[in-house]
Amino acid sequence: MLITRSIPELRQALSAYHRPAFVPTMGNLHEGHLSLVRQAKPLGDVTVVSIFVNRLQFLPHEDFDSYPRTWEADCDKLRATGCDIVFAPRESDMYPEPQTFKVQPDPRLADILEGQFRPGFFTGVCTVVMKLFLAVFFGQREGVAVFGQKDYQQLMVIRQMVRQFALPIQVHAGQTCRAEDGLALSSRNHYLGPAERAEAQALAQALRQLAERWCAARTAGALDAAALEQQAMDALRARGWQPDYLTVRRRCDLQPATAADAPGTLVALGAARLGSTRLIDNLEF
């Protein structure tokens, strides 16, 4: 496994290949990340994983400085998974000068849900992903980028960015990996204490219940989406959570679902804080 630090070094390493399969990460790798790497391997002729904690997508009060950095363990896991090239730039490599040019995503998609509670988040995501894409796919006629479906809105934002900029990249959605109790694997699960970890599965359970109640109410002709979503948030709040949103949206554009939208085209999304840890999850139905 080759480790590269600078963009020129990475491009040189990739010059012998024709279809990179790329998995961007912020490190602190878990089975969810490794699953994405395994999914990427057959999609290209070289597998590239980036490890870079992107300052631009953290708000001032968020956990940039304390975000877990586990370099040696990450490399061991990637070697065992069959990764070919790791791109681990320093901040000065990615941002050698203040990043005054940024990619501004469509506010209709990026300023709702996560974007409402984390203003500017998707601008930071799109900017760093565009720079990573230019580093990995520069000079290539085609390639594949794999993003986890757990970050559902991010996946949609990246797909729209790739489409609108006509990038020669296929965006592949990797299935969400879950623990046995249903908790979606996340680097931020590391922050959960034992009691919080036992409780954390309640977010996935709340989304399942919201989807079931939404479908039942639609079938009965008595759908009140706002009331169902408020009920779901109140139930989580009663368990000690601080929910930001639990909602049912159309998969195609993440706009609020109505009775005219049939199951099979919908997704329930949620974000809530348990103690000091903010968790997100989703469920297509």
> Across-strand partners of 273?
242, 278
Please list the active-site residues.
Answer: 33
Q: Are the beta carbons of 270 and 241 closer than 8 angstroms?
A: no
What is residue 261's three-state secondary structure? Answer: coil
Question: Which helix (H) or strand (E) covers residue 8, if one does?
Answer: helix 7-14
Distance CA 61, CA 51 (A): 22
Neighbours of 227 (CB within 10 A): 12
- As a whole number of angstroms, the distance between CA 47 and CA 40 comes to 7
Span between the terminal Cα atoms of the chain, in Å: 39
What is residue 257's DSSP assignment?
Answer: P
**Distance between CA 279 and CA 183 in Å, rounded?**
10
Sorted by sequence, the CB contacts under 8 Å of residue 165 that are 6+ apart come out as 130
